[in-house]
Structure 1
Amino acid sequence: MTTLAPARASAPPRHWLASALRRLLWWVTLTLTGGFQRRGRLPRGGCVVIANHSSHADTAALLAALDARHAPVIGAAADYWFASPWRRRICSRLAGGFPVRRDGGGVDDLLAMADELRAGRTVVLFPEGTRRADGEFGTFHRGALVLAEEAGVPLVPVGIAGTDKVLPKHGRLRSGVVRVRIGAPLPAAATPEDARASVAALHARAEAERKRDSGLRRRVSSVINSRWGAVLVFLWAVAEALSWPLIPELLVATIVIAVPRSAVKVSLSIVAGTLAGGLLGLQLAAAGAQLPAPLTTDRMRAQARHEIAVEGADAVRHQPWKGLPYKVYVAEAGKADVPPVDWVVESAKARGSRTAMLTALFAVLGLLLQRFRRWYVGYLVVFAGVFAWSLAGVIRTWS
């Protein structure tokens, strides 16, 4: 390979905005589908990136990983991505793709990008030419090496892991963590076999990191994503509104931190269960039933009774911020013959706002802490201790 020629430190500014928007789009998409992590950085200036290819999601992973100052463009199969107008628009606008022929003339298509490389842009290529099953590597073609030599820029290997789980070949979108590991530039005398070995090694390291996860967190994810996940959360919230001593927000802290994308499902299930349980509890209390209310005190009941006597159904708005159990308000409202419709409406406002706020908070926290998933059990231990201490404090305050 020839001596590397001086290149711009970054791509021309006119390309930055489009590249930044693509990076944000795919980073958010991958984060919401299970998580995204990157290790390593590209060298300054233009370069050719080569990566393994097992899924259409590989393009999204690379665009999310590469800085906007490199203004990356992706080599895409002309016979597939540019065979129809709608695919051409998707590839060009969402991925910055350019056509590469696979049936002859592909090297000429690549060499046409040499000036872009010298101007500081990054060209991303999949040397295998097509998607392979995860862990399998085909023959690496020479086109990427020829382009890097012609433009006088580095050739940088990248390993991608997890995309075949998120979007399998001929499969549907699933949840999963994607990791991208960027390696050091290859030596000038590198061969296609050297490039293949470097990408394979980076892929193996990224895959090993991707699998470092808590077994308990995976089981929680499996349960909440099952057909019974929302039902179990709903039943917990119903029980808490009647007698169960543990608030449903405990599920938010347990489930949403582990599976951030379940936030909407969990939040809606909690609110629906709270309202259903509250309405049932209201009717039972109005009929004279006395349900068990563990971890409550006479002072709690007196406070709720006073507020309901003064404000009626509006009194439930105090519940989320005073630490009094919802079931205490439900029981006292039933005894006071508060109209059920008014109670449901006001409960939806009060409980819904708090649940939505807490769920959003834990969803953001879960997204930010995805790389620490293997310590999920430790998080639960710490959280359980903090919750127990807080609950004891509330009971002491209202004793």
Structure 2
Amino acid sequence: MDDLAITGLLVLSLFLILGSGVWIGLTLSGVAWIGMQLFSARPAGEAMAMTIWGSASSWTLTALPLFIWMGEILFRTRLSQDMFKGLAPWVQALPGRLLHTNVIGCTIFAAVSGSSAATCATIGKMTLPELTRRGYPEHMVVGTLAGASTLGLLIPPSIIMIVYGVTAEVSISQLFIAGVLPGILLAALFSGYIVLWALRHPEQVPAADERMAFMQKLAQSRSLIPVLLLIATVLGSIYIGWATATEAAALGVVGALVLSSVQGSLDWRSFRAALMGATRLYCMIALILAGSAFLSLAMGYIGLPRHLAQWIASLELNQAQLIAALALFFVLLGCFLDGISMVVLTMGVLMPTVQAAGIDPLWFGIFIVLVVEMAQITPPVGFNLFVLQGMTGRQLPWISRVALPMFLLMCAAVALIYAFPGIVTWLPQQMSAR
């Protein structure tokens, strides 16, 4: 059979098994087994056992469950309850006022959760009822939350960065450092959009609350200070070089446990809920990673990555055209798959092509995270859209429409990091030079 027929058969098998309701990780393993059994001389069972054991025993991957657990612990503290009260006094003077709490709140919580959906749910529970009660337009409240919550993937520590680092063999610590400036850039674009909208529609912005003195603002924000210190400690230990990503994650778990204990929100019930929540999420991701590792091996034996790279090379695309084509490909793929599945499904096939085109794998990792963020708010399988639908009761087409400006701003961010790659690479280079 030629490559096109083999690819068609495997893709058809993938969608048939997924459509039958089988878990994604098992689906990937099943498709890989079919490919190995039909088109390779190596025994599929032996290859599957070796590959799954190798992916599951990766030391680098130990950072993932620890960061997930840290986020789960802090999710159950009073952080979400106190955050709005702490942020509100500082944004009253900005055009758009309390709408900025969506962006700033998501930026802060992204640094402790690593998950887009968790950021959306946590900040949404806090801001949606409060901003609606105060009279802010619903389309702006929901739209800005949809976009800003995707920062959970870009602001380190990010679950998807760890997954990309493992699958593409890129330093996770370097990825974390590289994500800082693009994360700040994207948050600034979102806040800038709110400012422009407020200047154009001042009549739709409710009146400011009573002015507070500087010390009063600090008093309102005191509950945020321990969390900000924890974030600075965890990420700072990576950036300075004192700790690896795994060691920093362990430090974050200990800090989160201490913080929740001091706040009085740590009891046996919340500890067990956080541990089980982290275990369930990690097991799902680990199963997907194991399946994708086996699928990548099967693809290698069949020769599809090499032939795909040769086909793309025959198109003679320049770097800009290749990046534009990949961005479109990932956004379309995001209409059907979640972000982690997209990364693990494609990296084994795409990385040889990307490296052959002279694209820095570190830069490419941040690019991938940005386009996966875009996919989080594109129907029909935009995870953040589902979260917001459950919280607002609105239909997906309406949520997609109000989130469209945020999607366009993400497109602008991708263009900016391509035009100015130093936005991604400058900070890692400075840290490496020390």
Identify whether the pair has TM-score above 0.5, normalized to the shorter chain.
no
Structure with greater strand share of residues: 1
Between Structure 1 and Structure 2, the one with more helix by share is 2
Task: Specify the structure having the higher radius of gyration (Cα).
Answer: 1
Normalising by the residue count of structure 1, what TM-score does the alignment of the two structures yield?
A: 0.31
Q: How does the TM-score come out when normalised to structure 2?
A: 0.29
Q: Which has the higher contact order (CA 8 A, sep 6+)?
A: 2
